[in-house]
Amino acid sequence: MKKIIYSLIIALFFAASISVKAQNVEFNKENFPKKEKEFKEARANFNQGVKNYELGRGSYLIALDYFLKANTFNPNNAELNYYIGSCYLNTVQKLNSIPYFEKSLTLNPTQFPDTKYLLARAYHLNSEFDKAIALYQEYRKSFSADDIAEFGADVEKKIQECNNGKLMMLTPARVFIDNLGPVVNSTYREYSPLINADESVLFFTSRRDNTLGGQKDLTDNNYFEDIYISEKVNGEWTKPKNPPSPLNSKEHDATIGLSPDGQTLLIYKGSDGGDIYECHLKGADWSTPKKLSNAVNTKYHESSASISFDGKTIYFVSNKPDGLGGSDIYYATLDKKGNWGEPKNIGAPINTTYDEEGVFIHPDGKTLYFSSRGHNTMGGFDIFKSTLENGKWSDPVNLGYPINSPDDDVFFSISASGAHGYYMSIKPGGYGDRDLYIITFLGAEKPLVNNTEDNLIASLAQPVSETVIEKTVAIKENQVTILKGKILDELTLNPLGAVIEITDNEKNEIVATFESNSATGKYLVSLPSGKNYGIAVKSGGYLFHSENLNIPPTTIYQEITKDIKLNKLAIGSTIVLNNIFFDFNKAVLRPESIPELERLIKLMTDFPTLKIEISGHTDNIGTAAYNKPLSENRAKSVVDYLISKGIDKTRMTFVGYGFDKPIATNDTEDGRQQNRRTEFKILSK
């Protein structure tokens, strides 16, 4: 009997304790007898916290510090727990808000009507989707007719996002996600990563204490944005450099877009509501950022941009009022004078009534990546892709979990190969506020040879970084060829700044123009598959150099490294005209030869005293009696064309050498192809 009574007493004691703990303790001195000094200090911290909290963005962390001090004295105040939860929800430590919102609701369920909504948001961000849905629905039940009109659509969307998240987590993508590490990331905020096409250079934005001005933006109490650059050396990223003026300034300077060759950078500056600037790498130095024209920049907020591989189309984001809603993606094309034309809204199905942000056009020229708060997101901004097919953009595809999360996932860029993506994210184990991460796309899952126990164990033993996914993400091998190398002087091997002209031989039109870096001679061009390209390299005082690259439509990603050596314009100099084409066993010039012939005409026009020899060459298939006349007739066809365009015939001779002067072995098809060529040689200047 005594034991039963004792048990009842213990049970009542714990029930009383729980009841006491669940009671809301107001910040009144009557509730803290004999603790006047401690109460006064805690109340002062509470009041100071409220003052900072009401300042909003940039002051939540300061307010949080005061609130947490007050909380050590009185942890059972609903209002204080609400404020602490709200502060955490507005910082990088969002999930720390959960126990404080839960406690605020327990202590006083009615004091703050939006506590259920905010706790639902915290559950949502923590991927506790069922808890979030239940609270969203409970919060919705309290709505008046006016509340439904004002908040109903938002709550319904949040519930749908939770349902989307549940589905995505059931079918995750096959990826590794890895932090770029402490060399790149810092204790401060990093975001907006940009890479050149072959992933050798990384640009990003950070708000560190070593920014150029070293000052903080009073609106959010963070350091001003600066641009940082890291290079990959022996497979590792080097310590980022903070380039000086003119690239960075004492105000906000942020990365938003990069050309595939890494020579043109688009940056954001906060002037005039937020505008886009362009700067170019000239040798080792960046040019002064130049504000893009009023066709792109407006009095509204232009926040991100990306330029196509050929430099002829710019995609950008603006919140100007003629959009579909919020911030939209627009595009503009270069006119014949080299100016951006009237921009057009990219429209549905890409833009929505919600915000779009972080646009990125892949070097293939037809795959667009962007972030959106619309479509089938799982919360905040999610990253999507769309493909241009027959002049229309496909329905956007969510890149899926775990690339996307219930929080904001934005400013995504991807390598030309499609193997790696780069973005900013907030994950456990990071180095600071926000970090940069690399995504490795694993491609379609390969089936096991058989379902033996050994195979199962082997599959489970594969190394896993952030997550290995069970289903394939909607990213395939990209159909792009990267041609890269250096432009050099043939004799000195010194680097040269040169213009690289890319021609679609079938259409006889220039599709893109690039420049090599004058300090290093480095060049990089990205070429979408499915075209026959003529490549001409020109530099002042040198003969032009031509290459032919025929890339079938089915060609997947490849990198070709080729150093190109230019000959001085001197007597005896010879170049191969790689873009002169004839039909098999014929000497009639094909239409694809015209761009190369036009380059030769320009050379002869620019140097009116130049005299040249045009020579034809063959492989050793067939007899000399057959090959010599064929090679001579082909050389004559070139001379005849130049004469028809006004070049004095006395300045040119032609000769056919047949297979007498090979430049490669005739034992392979590749060698024989090199031997089948047309050349010109300078006879006199």
pTM exceeds 0.75? yes
d(C-alpha 602, C-alpha 593), whole Å: 15
- For range 361-371, the mean pLDDT: 94
pLDDT digits (tens, 9 = 90+) for 594-617: 999 999 999 999 999 999 999 999
**pLDDT at residue 361, rounded to an integer:** 95
User: 205 - beta bridge partners?
Assistant: 191, 227
SS3 636: helix
In what side-by-side order are the strands of the sheet with 190-195? 190-195, 201-206, 226-233, 236-237
- Torsion over CA: 435, 441, 445, 446 (sign): negative
The answer, yes or no, to whether the previous bond of 260 is cis (omega within 30 of 0) is no
- In the numeric block, which tokens belong to residue 441? 């796309």
**pLDDT at residue 22, rounded to an integer:** 63
The CATH H-level (homologous superfamily) assignment of domain 479-568 is Carboxypeptidase-like, regulatory domain (2.60.40.1120)
The CATH H-level (homologous superfamily) assignment of domain 571-685 is OmpA-like domain (3.30.1330.60)
131: confidence class by pLDDT, cuts 50, 70, 90: very high
Of the candidates 632, 629, 626, 621, which has an alpha carbon nearest to the alpha carbon of residue 662?
A: 621
Domain boundaries, the chain: 20-170, 175-460, 479-568, 571-685
Other Cβ atoms within 10 Å of 506 Cβ, number: 13
- For range 436-461, the mean pLDDT: 59
Average pLDDT, the chain: 89
**pLDDT at residue 1, rounded to an integer:** 47
Q: Contact, 434 vs 92, CB < 8 A?
A: yes
- For range 249-255, the mean pLDDT: 91
Of the candidates 56, 100, 62, which has an alpha carbon nearest to the alpha carbon of residue 78?
A: 100
pLDDT digits (tens, 9 = 90+) for 66-87: 999 999 999 999 999 999 999 9
- In the numeric block, which tokens belong to residue 347? 């429209």
Q: Contact, 615 vs 678, CB < 8 A?
A: yes
SS3 171: coil
How many residues are present in the chain?
685
**pLDDT at residue 446, rounded to an integer:** 58
The CA–CA distances, whole Å, from 378 to 129, 191, 322, 494 equal 10, 21, 27, 54
- For range 548-553, the mean pLDDT: 91
d(C-alpha 548, C-alpha 550), whole Å: 6
pLDDT digits (tens, 9 = 90+) for 236-247: 999 999 999 999
Q: What are phi and psi of 223, to 5 degrees?
A: -65, 155
CATH class of domain segment(s) 175-460 = mainly beta
- For range 575-590, the mean pLDDT: 92
447: confidence class by pLDDT, cuts 50, 70, 90: low
**pLDDT at residue 477, rounded to an integer:** 57
d(C-alpha 121, C-alpha 133), whole Å: 9
**pLDDT at residue 461, rounded to an integer:** 36
Of the candidates 682, 681, 663, 683, which has an alpha carbon nearest to the alpha carbon of residue 673?
A: 663
- For range 407-436, the mean pLDDT: 89
**pLDDT at residue 450, rounded to an integer:** 46
Dihedral angle of Cα 203, 205, 207, 209, to the nearest 10 degrees: 20
- The topology under which CATH files domain 20-170 is 1.25.40
CA 286 to mean position of chain CA atoms: 21
d(C-alpha 327, C-alpha 374), whole Å: 11
**pLDDT at residue 366, rounded to an integer:** 93
- In the numeric block, which tokens belong to residue 411? 């400013």
Beta strands (DSSP E) in 83-234 are 175-179, 190-195, 201-206, 216-217, 222-223, 226-233
Beta strands (DSSP E) in 97-200 are 175-179, 190-195
d(C-alpha 615, C-alpha 48), whole Å: 87
pLDDT at 9 over 60: no
- Angle at alpha carbon of residue 116, lines to 112 and 117, rounded to 5°: 105
d(C-alpha 385, C-alpha 198), whole Å: 20
